Each structure stands twice: as C-alpha cells, then as structure tokens.
Amino acid sequence: MKETIKLEIPKKSEFISIIRLTTSFVANNVGFNIEEIDDLKVVVSEMCIYFINHLDAAIRPLNIVFQFDNHELTVEIEDLNFGLMAQEKEDMGIMIIQSLADQFSLDIEKKKILISKRIQ
C-alpha cells in the first residue's frame, strides 16, 4: 500500500531543517538504515537548495511529497513560484543528488526534481 506525506514549506533556507527532520522520520519509519537515512537527508536538502539557488522568486512555497511503496521511497520537490529557472551544466548539488539517489529526474520547465531510493 502506497503511503504519502505532503509538505508545503516557505522557500527559505532556514526551513531546510524541517525537511531534513521529516526525511529522517519517514526514512526511519519505512526501514532505511542510518547510512541510507543520512544520504536521504543530504539528497533532499540539496534538492531544496537547488530551487533556492536557481529560481529567485520566493513568494510561493516549495511542495514536497514523500511516497513509500514496495521498499522504495520517492521524494518529489516542486517550486511553486513563477519565473524561469537558471540551470548550470555542472551543478555540484545535482551531482551530489545523482550520486546518492537510485533514480533522479529534473524537469526545468515544471520546476520539479524527483528522486527514488530503495531499501538495501
């Protein structure tokens, strides 16, 4: 059975700790080990920081959706602000996300990042 948790937080760096705590709670509850939980906290933090750094508008919140089904956690973060996103070809945050997540997709037009990680 698919379980879903949704958050909407202000697009400000001081709220990233809330996302890290939520990520830790969700990952722990679904069975990830401590190393995987730490990796997920880094990944989700980097996803949020990516939007903070690449789209200046901060009137609307970030929308975060955690879904767990069949030993796999997916996290989608969407920037609900208007405007065009700048994209750097070799963004360090994206490289970190790609190295720690099992699957990764970035949709610049829809302003969404989606990752998934399976329990080992």
Instruction: Determine the Cα–Cα distance for residues 57 and 46; give it in Å rounded to an integer.
Output: 18
User: For the chain, what are the domain ranges?
Assistant: 3-118
pLDDT per residue as tens digits for the range 68-98: 998 999 999 999 998 888 776 678 899 999 9
Structure tokens at 52: 């903070």
Tokens 């379980």, residue located: 3
pLDDT of residue 89: 63
Q: Is the pLDDT confidence value at 10 over 90? A: yes
CB half-sphere exposure, 95, CA atoms < 13 A:
5
pTM surpassing 0.95?
no
75, 90 in Cβ contact below 8 A?
A: no
pLDDT per residue as tens digits for the range 26-74: 999 999 999 999 999 999 999 999 999 888 888 999 999 999 998 999 9
Q: Which CATH number fits domain 3-118: 3.40.50.12780, 3.90.420.10, 3.40.630.30, 3.30.565.10?
A: 3.30.565.10
pLDDT of residue 88: 66
